[in-house]
Amino acid sequence: MSASSSFLPQPVIVTRLRAAGCVFAEDEARLLIATARTPSDLAAMVDRRIAGLPLEHVLGWAEFCGLRIAVDTGVFVPRRRTEFLVHQAVALAHRTAGPDDRPAPLPRPAAVPVGPSVPSAPSVPSAPFVSSGPSGPGDLAVPAGQALRPRIVVDLCCGSGAVGAALVAALDRVELHAVDIDPAAVRCARRNVAGGRVYEGDLYEPLPTTLRGRVDILTANAPYVPTGAIGLLPPEARVHEPRVALDGGADGLEIQRRVTAAAALWLAPGGHLLIETSERQAPQTAEAFARNGLIPRVVVSEELDATVVVGTMPAPHPPRGPARDQEIGGVG
């Protein structure tokens, strides 16, 4: 809807939003006007935002890694800092693909093209479940006659499915499996991850057992807010987002420890576990990785105020021959 046809003039909307404490009132007003279909829709959306509903719940979507991700009311809103988790996973995924040494995957739906987020567009495009096409700059060369196997990606605590959708959009040949314990989040994720393979259940429990020992990239934006700190969160999160997506237990690390404890059972040799956490909690998370057989490292983005702990499953040493061993570079 254009601003000229709105019942509420944009300056009035900005004033009302600013009075309600919205720091980016001008930007929010533009998004509300662009998304509303009728003047009555716009008035209702402004009222909901002023009442404290997260902007993404009012709009019905969030921008994440250049995609428009559907976010239903009551579903955890993907944060911009989590884009750092995606960036790290993409960089690592480009290093894991190799000639096909696994059984052929089950048939999957065709790719669905995805474009960048356009605030004025009324629809919410989903990211493709499987992307196929020319190799990206990070893909590995494969000898003639050998197929490049799909990267197997598992996203635990997937929420709206934003991380999985962004990974599929960024990578070629992806077999994605996403899990969340919240039924509302699962319904939302199935809209964002075209083709399915989104499971409802507790962490690894609903995953096909055939994935054990085969996962290249395992991501988890597990809740990491200590139980005692939930009351200190902004009302937008504390009141309108599911507690199960926020509460990480007494020290905030309860779910992370459960993810880490079983990761080695699912990761392929050389596979990677990536968990978003806080800078304060990162040393403990890294220690948990090491205790469970992973090689940990902590990466930080000051720009996004993001911290990710990466754990790598050690790969078997190649057999030594008479020739000098080739140097194998680590993941840096």
Query: Hey, where are the domains in the chain?
Result: 1-51, 61-312
User: How distant, in Å, are the alpha carbons of 86, 120, 231 from that of 172?
Assistant: 15, 29, 42
**How far is it, in rounded angstroms, from Cα 24 to Cα 36?**
18
Q: By three-state DSSP, how is residue 281 classified? A: coil
For the whole model, what pTM was predicted?
A: 0.79
Q: At what angle do helices 162-170 and 83-93 cross, to 10 degrees?
A: 40
Q: By three-state DSSP, how is residue 217 classified? A: strand
**Is domain 61-312 in CATH 3.40.47.10, yes or no?**
no
Q: By three-state DSSP, how is residue 178 classified? A: strand
> What is the per-residue pLDDT for 80?
96
- Give the H or E element holding residue 308: strand 306-312
Nearest CA to 278 among 258, 251, 245? 251
> What is the per-residue pLDDT for 169?
94
Any idea which residue has 């077999």 for tokens? 175
> What is the per-residue pLDDT for 230?
96
Per-residue pLDDT of the chain (332 residues; tens, 9 = 90+): 544 444 789 999 999 999 999 999 999 999 999 999 999 999 999 999 999 999 999 999 999 999 999 999 999 999 999 999 999 999 999 876 544 434 333 333 333 333 333 333 333 343 332 322 333 333 333 444 445 678 999 999 999 999 999 999 999 889 999 999 999 999 999 999 976 699 999 999 999 999 999 999 999 999 999 999 999 999 999 999 999 999 999 999 999 999 999 999 999 999 999 999 999 999 999 999 999 999 999 999 999 999 999 999 998 766 565 544 433 333 33
Both structure tokens of 249: 């237990």
> What is the per-residue pLDDT for 1?
57
